[in-house]
Amino acid sequence: TTPTPAPTTEPTTTPTSAPTTTPTTEPTNKEVDIPDSITVDDYPALPAINNPNTNLTSIIENLPQGAIINQAGSKTATLSGNNIIQIEDDINITEYEIADVTIDKLVSLNDKSFYYLSAGKLYRFNFEDESSVEIKNEISIDLEKAIYYSINKDNVLIYSNNKLYTIKDDMSIDLLSEKVSDIKIQGNLLAFLNDKSEINLLDLSGSLEQSNIKIIPESGITKYSISTDGNSITYLKNQRVFTYKGNKIYPASDKESDFILSHNPNKLIVYTSDKDLIIFTISEELKLDKVFEKVSPDTIAHNQVLNYGGNCLYANANNFTIIYENGDTEVINLS
């Protein structure tokens, strides 16, 4: 399976409306100065490529109220009545009834179990023996206000009051990190910002322990996003765009800029203070594909249309809308 976290919060950015005129503007041959890449062998390695379920955006969009999905988008859990849970995959619908309990909310689902809230307490239901176990909340987290992230393990990530927690083998809640903000998850990569605005990384295919959290030594990050395959990170620092992949950092522009990633993990779209929209391919080096001039900054927000879960929104690489300063629009294929 290809892990992609279940959406537990709605993305906060709403695409803007755009005019409907469609000119046939060609990209220009304008020269763009691209700074050289920087080799950084001492930076933490990113997880291996892990492409998402191609149907995931549609699954998330059509998810019933109160239902949750697993990280891969291959299973759905739905509450029926007070204590009956339906687990649906591509083949079967299986029903589980938990006696003498009222389930208030389903919060996480994986291959071996699901987690639910009842009367302010958190429980884990095990599929194999159909048993429920209460999670010991010795840290006194407000479990009803917490945010839960499904991951491709028999576990769950819990975010509460700028702290990130997981579940230990003894069914107690364990602190992973504090001073946490702006959590994003794609593929096997969990990322978040600390109080220095540094990007922290955790490979979800390994052990969920504090000692496995690594830091990209770049402070003052104001925006970042993970590629859909979890194999690169693009971020904004000092209003400049950088992509970290492999053992290299790729500066995308020497001008004040903004960016958006597409569902094609190798495509980077940068908008500069010169009102240029620059399309790059991320490969061994940053390859310039196209430059469009006199573009409106609304183009970035307008194209945040694909939700793969994990608090990231992406552009559709096959149907990207450019909004020009004069209000005209153009739809292009980035591939």
Chain segment 137-173, per-residue pLDDT in tens: 999 999 999 999 999 888 999 999 999 999 999 999 9
Q: Is the CB of residue 297 less than 8 Å from the CB of residue 18?
A: no
Confidence check: pLDDT of 257 > 50: yes
Tell me what pLDDT residue 30 has. Answer: 82
CA 80, 82, 87 angle in degrees (round to 5)?
35
Which pLDDT band, with edges at 50, 70 and 90, does 76 fall under?
A: very high
Beta-carbon contacts of residue 54 (< 8 Å; ≥ 6 apart):
none
Torsion 274-275-276-277 (CA) sign: positive
In angstroms, the Cα distances linking 53 to 67, 234, 272 are: 18, 21, 32
Question: What is the pLDDT averaged over residues 231-253?
Answer: 96
Give me the amino acid identity at 185: I
Distance between CA atoms of residues 212 and 210, nearest Å = 5
Answer whether residue 4 shows pLDDT above 80. no
CA–CA distance from 170 to each of 91, 137, 150, 174, 253 (Å)?
33, 12, 19, 10, 49
CB-neighbour burial class of residue 47 (10 A; exposed 0-12, middle 13-18, buried 19+): buried
What span, in angstroms and rounded, lies between the C-alpha atoms of 305 and 37? 30
Highest mean pLDDT among 1-15, 41-55, 184-198: 184-198
Q: What's residue 272's pLDDT?
A: 97
**Domain spans in the chain, listed from the N-terminal domain onward:** 38-332
What pTM was estimated for this model as a whole?
0.89
- Please report, for residues 34, 300, 313, the alpha-carbon distance to residue 255 in angstroms, rounded to integers and kept in the order given: 10, 17, 24
pLDDT in tens, 79-97: 999 999 999 999 999 999 9
Segment 23-29 shows an average pLDDT of 62
**Element (H or E) spanning 126, and its range?**
strand 121-126
Mean pLDDT of 210-227: 97
Residues above pLDDT 70, as percent of the chain: 92
| Residues 171 and 124: beta-carbon distance below 8 Å | yes
Q: Are 201 and 189 in contact (CB under 8 A)?
A: yes
Residue with tokens 């900054």: 297
CA distance 214 to 197: 14
